[in-house]
Amino acid sequence: MASMATGGLGAALAAEIRGQVIDPANDGYDEARALYNAMIDKRPALIARCADVADVIAAVDFARTNGLDLAVRGGGHNGAGLGSVDDGLVVDLSGLRDVRVDPDSRTAVVGGGATLGEVDHATHAFGLALPAGIISTTGVGGLTLGGGLGYLTRQYGLTIDNLLAADVVLADGTFVRASETEHEELFWAIRGGGGNFGVVTSFTFRLHPVTTVVAGPMLWELDRAADVLGFYREFLPQSPERLSGFFAFLTVPPGPPFPEHLHLKKMCGVVWCHTGSEEEATHDLAPVRAFAEPALDGVGPVPFPAIQSAFDGLYPPGHQWYWRADFVREIPDEAIARHVEFAERLPTMQSTMHLYPVDGLAGRVSPDATAWGYRDARWAQVMVGVDPDPANAGAIRDWTVDYWEALHPFSLGGAYVNFMMDEGDARVRATYRGNYDRLARAKRRYDPANVFHVNQNIRPAD
């Protein structure tokens, strides 16, 4: 494809690749560099919209030989904006988004730049699903490399627990396949270690027979929040793994399907997802309904892609976004009291706190089987300040940081890497716990010059 770039370096790169090269002189530059989180505003020197694996190899070689900082962009959803870089080269994978499902082996080969919605669409046609995340515009690339959690985590594991192989372009431009039998250490490292080790041009995943689920929210008044959270912390870990549900503090959106009398009310809730029959879901959720009748009970049968994209409208790209997170095993009464204080002060309509279950099958994997070191955690907790208005950026940030600081003492110490801002080396180490040193050795082997450093960076071991 013809180059859109006009500058010297851009023209040189355009001669090397089939996809587009976009630089600041191009009309499409602002659109191409925009990130999901509008709080982050980066101005790369070049954006290489790669059309194929050869383009990725050429772009990585080009960045290295020209001394350009290199960023890799999957879906562009990273909260810290790590899919882009000021003054450097962005390897944009949005041209690599094919999803090929093999219904016989129940596997899918997914391009490194595909979104979750594209995967759900392709797999649902065969009655299959990949355990992944809950907003359809999120990139499979960043989500998978950090771990990948969602409604199917308790029953079928994290996204990395369903990764069978990956095609990877390494820092020196070589192309390898990583699996349990090829480049095993690389395969271990990319299952949680983020984009530190190379550009994944395609993922091979195991799929599961999930089609219609019984899913949706139950909401309760905020004055019931302490009781409901206290019930939920005991109930969910001992529930069948076909049931999952994330706990949330939220402000009810002012529109359908929510009834008018609840609009803009601060409430607590659980968004459930059950992979069994309606009868089984009714049975498994009976204790919840018996404990406290919800003010809204929106649980019912829906196609899996529908619950996967149910919050897309509430969280479109282009809003201010600031989050902080931790892994949690216990939720003591004192933590619940602190949670409720901050829920009463939710600063904007879209700001929220979620507790995502990571127990069940995900919790039975050995902590050294992949780079994900918190197999003992029951929840990945995240507090998120969100608002369309940049004038509210300070308010949502302050609420999030204060909330995180109040709850951090009750956590296991580190956070899910995909729920972090740019928080410094100590937080990256805390993310990987006992696996950090092994990751640093894998980094030394696969990227000794730290070419891939625009990420939650693991420095090569000495």
Ligand X SMILES: Cc1cc2nc3c(=O)[nH]c(=O)nc-3n(C[C@H](O)[C@H](O)[C@H](O)COP(=O)(O)OP(=O)(O)OC[C@H]3O[C@@H](n4cnc5c(N)ncnc54)[C@H](O)[C@@H]3O)c2cc1C
Binding residues for ligand X, total number by CB under 6 A: 34
* Helix boundaries (H) for 68-217: 116-124, 140-146, 153-156, 184-190
Binding to ligand X in span 267-296, by CB under 6 A:
none
Contact residue for ligand X among 74, 193, 216, 217 (CB under 6 A): 74
- Give the phi and the psi of residue 274 in degrees, each rounded to 5: -125, 130
What x-and-dash track marks residues 182-221 binding ligand X by CB under 6 A?
A: ------------xx---xx---------------------
Report d(CA 335, CA 350) in Å as an integer: 22
Query: What is the 3-state secondary structure of 196-244?
Result: HCCEEEEEEEECECCCEEEEEEEEEEHHHHHHHHHHHHHHHHHCCCCEE
Contact residue for ligand X among 33, 42, 49, 77 (CB under 6 A): 77
Report which secondary-structure segment, H or E, holds 12: helix 8-14
Binding flag, residue 117, ligand X (CB under 6 A): no
CA angle 98, 74, 37 (to 5 degrees): 135
Binding flag, residue 431, ligand X (CB under 6 A): no
Q: Which range touches ligand X (CB under 6 A), out of 21-29, 76-84, 214-222, 331-339?
A: 76-84
160: nearest Cα among 182, 180, 174, 137:
180
Q: How many CA atoms lie within 13 A of 219 on its CB side?
A: 20
Binding flag, residue 72, ligand X (CB under 6 A): yes
Residue type, position 327, single letter: F
Report d(CA 357, CA 201) in Å as an integer: 29
Six-digit token string for 457: 């960076």
List, in order, residues 6 or more apart from 124 with CB less than 8 Å away.
211, 303, 304, 305
**Minimum distance from residue 157 beta carbon to ligand X (Å):** 12
**Minimum distance from residue 7 beta carbon to ligand X (Å):** 24
CB 21 within 8 A of CB 14: yes
Report d(CA 37, CA 346) in Å as an integer: 19
Nearer to ligand X, 94 or 239 (CB): 94
Report d(CA 447, CA 441) in Å as an integer: 10
Instruction: Enumerate the β-bridge partners of residue 46.
Output: 89
Instruction: Enumerate the β-bridge partners of residue 177.
Output: 167
Binding flag, residue 385, ligand X (CB under 6 A): no
Q: Which range touches ligand X (CB under 6 A), out of 69-77, 207-215, 231-239, 406-414?
A: 69-77
Binding flag, residue 150, ligand X (CB under 6 A): yes
Q: Which range touches ligand X (CB under 6 A), out of 70-78, 234-242, 271-279, 364-372?
A: 70-78
Nearer to ligand X, 52 or 280 (CB): 52
What x-and-dash track marks residues 311-330 binding ligand X by CB under 6 A?
A: ----x---------------
**Minimum distance from residue 188 beta carbon to ligand X (Å):** 16
Binding flag, residue 146, ligand X (CB under 6 A): yes
Nearer to ligand X, 26 or 352 (CB): 352
**Minimum distance from residue 82 beta carbon to ligand X (Å):** 4
Contact residue for ligand X among 112, 373, 385, 460 (CB under 6 A): 112
Report which secondary-structure segment, H or E, holds 55: helix 53-65
Strands 266-274, 175-179: pairing is: unpaired
Secondary structure letter of residue 161 according to DSSP: G
Binding to ligand X in span 387-426, by CB under 6 A:
418
Contact residue for ligand X among 21, 57, 82, 349 (CB under 6 A): 82
What x-and-dash track marks residues 12-51 binding ligand X by CB under 6 A?
A: ------------------------x---------------
Contact residue for ligand X among 10, 19, 76, 88 (CB under 6 A): 76
143: nearest Cα among 99, 83, 71, 85:
83
Nearer to ligand X, 317 or 367 (CB): 317
Binding flag, residue 135, ligand X (CB under 6 A): yes
Report d(CA 399, CA 379) in Å as an integer: 21
Nearer to ligand X, 141 or 294 (CB): 141
Binding flag, residue 149, ligand X (CB under 6 A): yes
Binding flag, residue 83, ligand X (CB under 6 A): yes
Binding flag, residue 143, ligand X (CB under 6 A): yes
Q: How many angstroms separate the Cα of 19 from the Cα of each of 15, 40, 411?
A: 10, 25, 45
- Give the phi and the psi of residue 289 in degrees, each rounded to 5: -65, -30
Secondary structure letter of residue 457 according to DSSP: P
**Minimum distance from residue 166 beta carbon to ligand X (Å):** 9
Binding flag, residue 148, ligand X (CB under 6 A): yes
- Binding stretches for ligand X (CB under 6 A): 36, 71-79, 82-83, 93, 112, 133-135, 138-139, 141-143, 145-146, 148-150, 194-195, 199-200, 315, 418, 455
